[in-house]
Amino acid sequence: MSLRLGDTAPDFTANSTAGKINLYEYLGDGWGILFSHPADYTPVCTTELGTAAKLKGEFEKRNVKMIALSVDGIDSHHGWVKDINETQQTEVNYPIIADEDRKVAELYDMIHPNANEKLTVRSVFIIGPDKKIKLTITYPASTGRNFNELLRVIDSLQLTADYSVATPANWKHGEDVVIAPAISNEEIPAKFPKGHKEIKPYLRTTPQPNID
């Protein structure tokens, strides 16, 4: 069965480029992003893993640990990492799981027979500190992931987890947010002292509450 938003992310222990790793122990009480790749030495994934490495600092600012997965073996992974480092001018600085038996791929429903009976699709799972799935995205093999969008989504997830707000279309950190419909106008001054704008009774905006 496919994992849905709000489901508990399955725990696992697997070999990786950083040695044996247990997902829950690795994430601790922070956030996590797990992203899969169909196979080693694939061109689009090479650019993705390099981009992720360059953005590790941005993920760390958000208390998010990265972990990747491919169904090839550990020796293949280590060879691929050398290519990634060379071609993307970076150093891969997070674990890549070796999932030869497809144990993790099956746990996370990463194999879609209509796309390919053997290889994982390119999935993304964002996991909260409560080990619940907060976001899933599945990309086709031909389209590289937008890691800046993943950072934007994490900003939104972390903000909306702590405040009674939602983020509008194309929202970026620092921009106004939408007040949740469950919040009455009478409650707004106490909850959102920066003030608010009522565009419609159901559409009220306020400056992002967690920044000065």
pLDDT digits (tens, 9 = 90+) for 153-174: 999 999 999 999 999 999 999 9
| % of the chain with per-residue pLDDT over 90 | 81
- Name the segment(s) of the chain with CATH classification 3.30.1020.10: 163-206
Q: What is the mean pLDDT of the segment spanning 17-28?
A: 97
Catalytic residue numbers, as ranges: 45
Three-class DSSP category at 110: coil
Check: CATH 2.40.30.10 for 13-144?
Answer: no
Determine the Cα–Cα distance for residues 121 and 39; give it in Å rounded to an integer. 10
Indicate the pLDDT class of residue 1, thresholds 50, 70 and 90: low
Question: Domain 163-206, what architecture?
Answer: 2-Layer Sandwich (3.30)
d(CA 42, CA 40): 6
Whether the per-residue pLDDT at 28 is higher than 90: the answer is yes
| pLDDT above 90 (res 127) | yes
Q: What is the average per-residue pLDDT within 37-56?
A: 93
Residue 68 is predicted with a pLDDT of 96
In this predicted structure, the answer to whether residue 60 has a pLDDT above a threshold of 50 is yes
C-beta of residue 25 within 8 angstroms of C-beta of residue 18: no
For the chain, the average pLDDT equals 92
Higher-pLDDT residue of 154 and 2 is: 154
Lowest-confidence segment of 9-13, 16-20, 111-115 by average pLDDT: 111-115
pLDDT score of 37 more than 60: yes
Distance of CA 201 to the CA centre of its chain: 33
Residues 6+ apart with CB under 8 A from 38: 45, 70, 71, 116, 119, 120, 121, 122, 141
pLDDT, residue 199, reads: 97
Q: Which of 10-19, 94-103, 110-119, 188-197 has the lowest mean pLDDT?
A: 110-119
Global confidence as pTM: 0.91
Region 39-60: what's the mean pLDDT? Answer: 95
* Residue intervals in the chain for CATH 3.40.30.10: 13-144
Taking Cα atoms as reference points, which of 26, 32, 28 lies closest to residue 12? Answer: 26
Decide: helix, strand or coil at residue 88: helix
pLDDT at 190: 95
The predicted model gives 59-77 an average pLDDT of: 95
Task: State yes or no: pLDDT of 109 exceeds 90.
Answer: no
* Predicted confidence (pLDDT) at residue 118 exceeds the cutoff of 90: no
